[in-house]
Amino acid sequence: MPVLVMKFGGTSVATLDRIRRAAKRVGVEVAKGYDVIVIVSAMAGKTNELVGWVGETSPLYDAREYDAVVSSGENITAGLMALTLQEMDVPARSWQGWQVPVKTTSAHSSARIEEIPTENITGRFAQGMKVAVVAGFQGVSPEGRITTLGRGGSDTTAVAFAAAFGAERCDIYTDVDGVYTTDPRVESKARKLDRIAFEEMLELASLGAKVLQTRSVELAMRYKVKLRVLSSFEEQSDEAGTLVCGEEEIMESNVVAGIAFSRDEAKMTLVSVADRPGIAASIFGALSDGGVNVDMIVQNIAEEGRTDMTWSCPVDQVKRAKLAMDKASASGVINFSELIADEDVAKVSVVGIGMRSHTGVAAKMFKVLSAEGINIKVITTSEIKISVLIDRKYMELAVQALHDAFELDKVA
């Protein structure tokens, strides 16, 4: 039997009624002759609640216990989905990550999947089971502890299962009907894309478009998984949604494919550090040891042997960053006069593989922002993207102005 992977995100399983609706979709595919692997997220809001409880209990929590708590939302929906399917006379069974087992690294709260043995589930399919419901987002470490794959990780569970089982397709059911030129909640003129290239989706995801977890796109690209994003709220044809595919499968595209943003950023500046070889290694080594995910980095011009070092990181890691710098300073690894944190910034990025062959995108982006009176604080670029850090209060304005200027509401 051909295998299909269907993943339902939090809003798609937010209530018993929605679980029933999703189960009906699964029933349709079973009737077509597929063995289906259903990956479920926790009910909408559940994971946030669990994360909140952990933070309230222990601000600098032990990541192993974070995972023990935060993974639990998916256990509930997996069981409920299996029960709902059984009520519809569809033979179904649920699996938690450790039961499969989804083997991961031991990097708690952001573990990577290393292996998914298929025998267990394949054996059940051979005995007549039609649907394996798997709790997304979770796995088990070599030490036998529960791990989670980072926020949005059920997407990655889904793609990893599709690759492991050689699934015909991996369908990601969510609360929008596909991948748009930008988040339709921020720009109402955002346009749904029929197709998007893996590399563009990878950039958009890593720059903040949470419609797919970055790692899921990486895996789909590596294992050539046919990945589709579609709405769980509408009747669907086989052509619905957005197909994430190789760029050679896309006929036409705009130079800029989409705009991504990341709201909760912080800009930190270490004032007056010694300008000597090894200083960057000392600073960023200490930040990395302290669990800080540094994104953009700027080293300013040196004067009299001293310089300022600026970086950006998620705003909820500012405390960790301060702690790491204080520790490094106390142990004499670095010395500085001041650490300034600007906690009110956001990152806006334009992405498109067309930038490889078209010049002028950066200039246009900066001009558009300047026309709106928006000051750019940090800039980074790569072959197919340009990112700027700006005041958070201008984020929506920047996204809308750029969407207009690059005419993303129109097909090229």
Which residues of this protein are in contact with ligand ADP, per CB under 6 A?
9-12, 41, 152, 174-176, 179-180, 182-183, 185, 204, 209-211, 258
Q: What is the DSSP letter of 411?
A: -
CB 211 to ligand ASP: min, Å: 11
Q: Which two tokens stand for residue 86?
A: 């059984």
312 contacts: CB under 8 Å, gap ≥ 6? 265, 266, 267, 268, 294, 295, 296, 345, 347, 378, 389
Q: Which residue is nearest to ligand ADP (CB)?
A: 9
- Is position 151 an interface residue for ligand ASP (rule: CB under 6 A)? yes
Nearer Cβ to Mg ion (176/388): 176
Q: Which of 11, 12, 41, 94 binds ligand ASP (CB under 6 A)?
A: 41
Q: Which of 73, 152, 241, 258 binds Mg ion (CB under 5 A)?
A: 152
What's the full length of the chain, in residues? 412
SS3 115: strand
349-388 positions binding ligand ASP, by CB under 6 A: none
- Is position 174 an interface residue for ligand ASP (rule: CB under 6 A)? no
CB neighbour class for 410 (10 Å; exposed up to 12, middle 13-18, buried from 19):
exposed
- Is position 182 an interface residue for ligand ASP (rule: CB under 6 A)? no
- Is position 153 an interface residue for Mg ion (rule: CB under 5 A)? no
Q: What is the 3-state secondary structure (H, E, C) of 314-348?
A: EHHHHHHHHHHHHHHHHCCCCCCCEEEEEEEEEEE
- Is position 245 an interface residue for ligand ASP (rule: CB under 6 A)? no
> Is cis: bond before 314, omega within 30 of 0?
no
CB 47 to ligand ASP: min, Å: 3
Q: What is the 3-state secondary structure (H, E, C) of 181-225?
A: CCCCCCCCCCCECCEEEHHHHHHHHHCCCCCCCHHHHHHHHHHCC
Options 153-161, 193-201, 308-316, 378-386: segment touching ligand ASP (CB under 6 A): 153-161
| 180 binds, options ligand ADP, ligand ASP, Mg ion, none, Cβ within 5 to 8 A by partner type | ligand ADP
| 175 binds, options Mg ion, ligand ASP, ligand ADP, none, Cβ within 5 to 8 A by partner type | ligand ADP
| 349 binds, options ligand ASP, ligand ADP, Mg ion, none, Cβ within 5 to 8 A by partner type | none
Characterize the bridge pairing of strands 92-95 and 131-135. Answer: parallel
